[in-house]
Amino acid sequence: MTGISSGVPLLSLLIIIPLLAGVLCLFVKAEGARWIALIGTMLDLALSIYLWVRFDPDGAQWQFVEKLPVVGGVNWALGIDGIALLLIVLTAFLMPICIGASWRSIEKRVSEYMAYFLLMEALIMGSFAAQDLFLFYIFFEGGLIPMYLIIGVWGGAERIKASYKFFLYTLFGSVLMLIAMLYMAGTANTTSIPELMAYNFPAAAQKWLWLAFFASFAVKMPMWPVHTWLPDAHVQAPTAGSVILAGVLLKLGGYGFIRFSLPMFPDGSLQFVPLVFVLSGIAVVYTSLVALVQKDMKKLIAYSSVAHMAFVTFGLFAMNRQGIEGAMLVMLGHGLVSGALFLCVGVVYDRLHTRDIDRYGGLSDNMPGYALLFMVFTMASVGLPGTSNFVGEFLSLVGTYRASSWAAIVATTGIILGAAYMLWLYWRICFGTQRNADAAAMQDLSVREWWLLAPIAAGVFWMGVYPESFMRPMRNDVGRLLTRLERVAPAGDSALTLGKGAVHMDHGATH
């Protein structure tokens, strides 16, 4: 059972449904566009859940494969493995929530807004499902256009600067990757991603190819020191924009490492493990410290995203099962939790129109439901056992420890600092005395807001209590990646070794 037999091009549908819905949105008024967007994203969610159910974890590596060759151009080649599947499900899950979050907070040019969101969903789905190098690039880069417009049109006061920064930063990262792709297509004489994943590029070339891809994914991820676009983009984007940016778009960077950098350039990857570890180490400590001193709630969460993404890079480049599976789970968990945290910020922002932490306080008195859910997501972000992030962060730290104990020591400080800034944030907002009358007068969550946050909370606990549902689909794919990396995986300094014994040492020294 590989899922091919059904004959229905499910993955194409996954891309076409939001695309059509997006076009349709342009032709209707605000209320119609909202409903079309909600229905479109719900259909996509249903379809992706169907894919999840139909996906056979023990089956072929690539399932639901479609191929429509275009002469001389890009092939419309789609197919997913477990890794792509999980990210597709995450995207499809967050999208209706984003639409719901924008239901009332977006007032102007609603049809356009919904159209861009749906277009973005189509492009993201395409990037995860693409099996042709250039098709991937087209989807990957195409996502810039709707996001640029979403930030620039519906963003906050500094929206223009943020939108430019977002666009040009990520574009600059990606164009170098394009040159590398051209070289790869020329050398390997194929543009098929599965074939390229098995192709052995000359070790000398791998170094450059790896760097070119790194330039793109590191910006997207984002890694220190090219993360500076992220706080701006996050703070200025509308709530739903931040959710999709943190929840899904950042995952394209991690996905890129798993899909391209590691399997295609194993030698290059090995060579740059120290670089990745150093950058990730700095990111964990530095951005956590920066997050501690933020006065703006969104900015704080944005910096925490950079810190969490560093766990992903640590885990991936540890090149062992725990590390890679952990990295994947961190990506999924962070997708849910950071999305939820941005929604939580959005909830109070919609009421008071400020993101200044000092303007809030003691919200647990007048908004108990909000305080409860915010607590859940704060704890998940800290990595409390039983929540999604614990599983991912723990595994990724175990993996890192196996590769390098020093890296693990630095990475673990991130957990402590993460607890510090998140708990302090929560304390300043929900506990303490109510300093501001207007904040004290805010209403608790509406039914719509419950509907947005509760499913994420459920997902967070599901992933924390029974992560097997999420690890099962990718287990074999991680295994395949590991066999590819077997030859190069770093030995590590933490493996148990047989002691030589004091006597033996003395004996040896006399010679």
Partner 1 sequence: MGRFAPLLPELILSIGGTVLMMVAAFTGRRGSGLVSWLAVALLLGATAALIGAPSHAGPVFDNFVSEDLFASFGKAIMFPAAAIAIIAAHGWFERNTEHSAEYAVLIVFSAVGMSVMVSATSLIALYVGLELQSLAAYVLASYRRMDERSAEAGLKYFVLGALASGILLYGISLLYGFTGTMSFNGLAAAFGRGPPSLGLLFGLVFVLAGLAFKASAVPFHMWTPDVYEGAPTPVTMFFGTAPKVAAVLLATRLCVEAMGPATDAWRQIVIFAALASIFLGAIAAFGQTNIKRLLAYSSINNVGFAMVGLAAAGPQGTSSVLFYMAVYVVMTVGAFLCVLWMRDEEGRPVETIASLSGLAQTRPAFAAAIAIFMFSLAGIPPLFGFWPKLMVFKAAVASGYVALAVAGIVGTVVGAYYYLKIVKVMYMDEPAEPYARLRQPVQGLLILLAALFVSPLGYLLIGPLGSLTDKAAGSLF
Residues in contact with partner 1 by CB under 8 A are 26, 70-74, 109, 112, 123, 134, 137-139, 141-142, 144-145, 148-149, 152-153, 159-160, 163-164, 167-168, 171-172, 175-176, 178-179, 182-183, 185-186
CB of 79 to partner 1, least distance (A): 19
- Pick the closer one to partner 1 by CB: 160 or 198: 160
- Pick the closer one to partner 1 by CB: 127 or 396: 127
- Pick the closer one to partner 1 by CB: 8 or 160: 160
* Tokens matching residue 121: 């969903």
CB of 44 to partner 1, least distance (A): 19
- Pick the closer one to partner 1 by CB: 138 or 188: 138
> How far is it, in rounded angstroms, from Cα 511 to Cα 505?
11
Q: What are the backbone angles phi and psi of residue 212, rounded to the nearest 5°?
A: -65, -45
Cis peptide before 231 (omega within 30 of 0): no
Counting Cα atoms < 13 Å in the Cβ hemisphere of 444 gives: 12
CB of 295 to partner 1, least distance (A): 26
Best CA proximity match to 103, nearest among 26, 38, 40: 38
Under a CB-based contact definition with an 8 Å cutoff, are residues 361 and 436 in contact? yes
- Pick the closer one to partner 1 by CB: 209 or 403: 209
With tokens 């962070």, the residue in question is 334
For residue 77, list its beta bridge partners: 67
CB of 73 to partner 1, least distance (A): 3
- Pick the closer one to partner 1 by CB: 159 or 227: 159
CB of 149 to partner 1, least distance (A): 6
CB of 96 to partner 1, least distance (A): 24
For residue 67, list its beta bridge partners: 77
Residue ranges of alpha helices (H) inside 189-296 are 193-197, 203-220, 229-236, 239-244, 250-256, 262-264, 266-271, 273-282, 288-292
- Pick the closer one to partner 1 by CB: 167 or 314: 167
- Pick the closer one to partner 1 by CB: 7 or 72: 72
Cis peptide before 225 (omega within 30 of 0): yes
CA 467 to chain centre: 17
CB of 185 to partner 1, least distance (A): 8
If one counts every other C-beta atom within 10 angstroms of the C-beta of residue 103, the result is 15
Give the three-state DSSP class for 355. coil
> How far is it, in rounded angstroms, from Cα 230 to Cα 315?
21
- Pick the closer one to partner 1 by CB: 101 or 219: 219
- Pick the closer one to partner 1 by CB: 31 or 486: 31
DSSP letter at 233? Answer: H
If one counts every other C-beta atom within 10 angstroms of the C-beta of residue 344, the result is 28
For residue 76, list its beta bridge partners: 68
> How far is it, in rounded angstroms, from Cα 123 to Cα 210?
24
CB of 176 to partner 1, least distance (A): 7
Q: How much helix, strand and coil, in percent to the nearest 5, is found in the chain?
A: 75, 5, 20
CB of 199 to partner 1, least distance (A): 17
DSSP letter at 62? Answer: S
CB of 487 to partner 1, least distance (A): 27
